[in-house]
A and B are shown apart, each in its own frame.
Chain A
Amino acid sequence: MSWLSKVRNSLSSLAKRDTPDNLWMKCPSCGEMLFAKDFEANLSVCPHCQHHGRIATQARFDLLLDAGYVVLPTPKVPENPLGFRDTKKYPDRLKAARAANPFPDALTNACGTVDGRKAVLGVQDFRFMGGSMGMAVGEAFVAGVERAIAENCAYVICTAAGGARMQEGILSLMQMPKTTVATRSLAAAGLPYIVILTDPTTGGVTASYAMLGDVQIAEPGALIGFAGQRVIQDTIREKLPDGFQRAEYLHAHGMVDMVVHRKDLKTTLATLLEYLERKDVA
């Protein structure tokens, strides 16, 4: 599935969930009927099959940070530097995404504490143009890391993206080295960089900052990979292995440290932050 159709699907399910007369929803994984409010109260995890649904930025902040966190402003970047249009103008797509989302682009940072331990948390939201990495995402990532260095604390990122934002052409590709400059500066400062891979994380995002964490955590069942499944299928012309590019598959192949249930994410994160805390230089 292309990132675009994924966005479309996620948007339509979102719209359904938001409609008041749609109190019930079907788990996309096991097909069980769920009371929408119960599903949300269960961190958008299906109580029957443990399918982890996609959650929005705000819900991520609330899940992982203690109350009282501060959402950081999204840095401004040049808009539509290529004057791009496909079937629609890029600025129109941006406008539509902004109307449907609370934040101005796909990556938002917050500064706060995780069970009392300071951290800057970045969250990528798949609902904003498939979480795609353009200049705004690259610049926000760099800003998040800079803030973590200024606060002398860890940078934690929850990734979710179909890949680079094609409407920004080569400039989106250049965010791969750009964000890598940032992870290197965090390492040089001796600060932890923790990646939480959520569904889905693919393309240029996976091939840059999403794979460079000191510790790599994945949510159960999350799709994580470089190439899209359809592209691979077209190349090899055979059935893909069961569970291919899922979190558990990556764990089995040594690409992530652990697969952690959403309800345990915060305590896991807090434990890691405790261990990897920067020792004060005497």
Chain B
Amino acid sequence: MISFLDFEKPVAELEMRIAELRATADGSDLDIEAEIRKLEKKSAALLASTYGKLSPWQKTQVARHPQRPHFVDYIRLSFTDFVPLGGDRLYGEDAAIIGGLAKLDGRKVMVIGHEKGHDTASRIKHNFGMAKPEGYRKAIRLMEMASKFGLPVVTLVDTAGAFPGVEAEERGQAEAIARSTEACLALAVPMVAAIVGEGGSGGAVAIASANKVLMLEHAVYSVISPEGASSILWRTPDKAADAATAMKVTAQDLLDLNVIDGIVPEPTGGAHRDPARTARALADALGRELAALETLDPAGLLSQREDRFLAIGSL
């Protein structure tokens, strides 16, 4: 059962009507069957038109949809033979960032990403995808291992941001993020990052400073959450929608700004309506980018990555 977002209410109403008709029909009443087909067509068209013109704030809600596929879903659907690797060897194991060895259509890779969890228990376990220093330090360890063994790095970014807490600060959250960004930039192997849900600030960029950065069609990527920007710049919590628009958080905007390199299409109605198809499209896009990067030698990979970021903000 899909849970509907506020702006999907007209679609939800149609779907409810269809469900009601189905419950009353016994398959023999041709009029009802015809009515159901008509409503289904209407609902599909409405869903397509709604998703064809989502506002940045609506996209933010889709990117945060509780049923949106997360890292563990992509591991299951886009990758095979996953071998999870745990721990930063310094402090602990942070389940907000998961990483390990996997195969992407046969290609051996190191895959790292945020996991938000899908129900109360798993959300708590994964700390809602908000990593602590040990999460970023695990990412550094895995990236360095990948570089050593010539494995390309794939990251799946999906976080509201790094965890804001006392113990995270105590253990050097800022340093861990800075070093993780540095580790991305130091890789002698290809690295492709995909923002699959929320790309929240430094907590995202720490594992997204890649040769190529992709975004799912309805993912968002921003320096601060629209709510945060609203409360700081507008001094009210009510301007999140305006902040989302002003900050240009959508994949389409970021492609225009040359901050990302490609958009992975989502099924009509968002990734959560068809995780398998989304995962297939993601795997294809990742594979294409990796194949292209494999033509570069380590020095070429390093300089392509450096030039990519040096160009942002230069005249």
A: residues with CB less than 8 A from B are: 2-4, 76-78, 81-82, 84-87, 134-136, 138-139, 142, 164, 166-178, 180-181, 183-185, 203-204, 206-212, 225-228, 231-232, 235-236, 240-241, 244-245, 253-255
Contact = CB atoms under 8 A, between A and B. Distances in A.
Interface centre among A168, A181, A241 (most CB of B within 10 A): A181
A274 to B, nearest CB: 26
Nearest to A183: B182
Nearest to A240: B166
B309 A181 contact: yes
B232 interface: yes
Contacts of B107: none
B45 to A, nearest CB: 33
A203 B163 CA distance: 12
Nearest to A86: B233
A170 B177 CA distance: 17
30 contacts: A76-B315, A82-B248, A86-B242, A139-B313, A142-B310, A164-B201, A166-B229, A169-B222, A169-B223, A169-B247, A171-B257, A171-B259, A175-B312, A175-B313, A176-B178, A177-B184, A185-B306, A203-B202, A204-B201, A207-B177, A208-B181, A226-B164, A226-B169, A227-B164, A227-B169, A232-B165, A232-B166, A235-B165, A240-B166, A254-B172
Interface of B: 162-166, 168-175, 177-179, 181-182, 184-186, 201-202, 205-206, 209, 221-224, 229, 231-235, 239, 242-243, 246-249, 254, 257, 259, 306, 309-310, 312-315
Given A174-B312, A181-B310, A226-B174, A86 B166 contact: no
A86 to B, nearest CB: 4
B90 to A, nearest CB: 11
Nearest to A139: B313
Given A176-B181, A176-B205, A226-B202, A4 B232 contact: yes
Given A171-B313, A207-B174, 10 more contacts: A2-B231, A171-B259, A178-B310, A180-B185, A183-B182, A208-B177, A210-B174, A225-B174, A226-B202, A241-B166
B165 A236 contact: yes
A184 B182 contact: yes
Contact of A82 (B232, B246, B310, B315): B246
B309 A178 contact: yes
A135 B223 CA distance: 13
Nearest to B178: A211
A181 B246 contact: no
A206 B174 contact: yes
B182 A180 contact: yes
A170 B202 contact: no
Nearest to B172: A255
Given A169-B247, A173-B223, A226-B202, A135 B312 contact: yes
